[in-house]
Amino acid sequence: MDIPWKVEIASSALTDLQLICSYITLVLNNPIAAMSTYESIISSFNSLQEFPKRFRIREEMQFEEQKVRSMIVKNYLILYTVIDETHTVSIIHILNGKQNIENI
């Protein structure tokens, strides 16, 4: 059996998650949806402990050298890198699917 990958969440991704949940709770006035979104995103992070390379590498210019991968969770795009040397997955950003990825 393969050893699970270590998942690290960058401060930028934590900030993104906090802003997403705050927006859903306060602006959309839907704390239940905010909790559901939070749980789905955290669950997706944990799923990367196995087969983190199952999602594609982004081809945008700003990600070319980092080999950033992405996965979709609800209306959000989770951006992360896979570091083979340390057997680590690093979550770097969570974007709304409507955001222009070129602007991050």
Domain membership flag for residue 102? no
CB-based contacts of 87, cutoff 8 Å, min separation 6: 3, 5, 6
The number of folded domains in the chain is 1
pLDDT for the residue 104? 61
Q: Does residue 104 form part of some domain?
A: no
Amino acid 97: pLDDT = 78
What confidence score (pLDDT) does residue 47 get?
Answer: 95
**Residues of the domain holding 82:** 6-97
Nearest CA to 20 out of 5, 39, 47, 43 is that of: 39
Model pTM above 0.85: yes
CB pairs under 8 A, 24+ apart, for 36-42?
A: 37/74, 37/76, 40/73, 40/74, 41/17, 41/73, 41/74, 41/76, 41/78, 41/94
Flag whether 36 is in a domain: yes
Q: Which two tokens mark 30?
A: 């839907």
Residue 28: exposure state from Cβ atoms within 10 A (0-12, 13-18, ≥19) = exposed
Cβ of 69: how many Cβ atoms within 10 Å?
21
CATH assignment of the domain containing 15: 3.30.2310.20
Determine the Cα–Cα distance for residues 85 and 42; give it in Å rounded to an integer.
24
Write the pLDDT tens digit of every residue in 23-76: 999 999 999 999 999 999 999 999 999 999 999 998 876 766 789 999 999 999
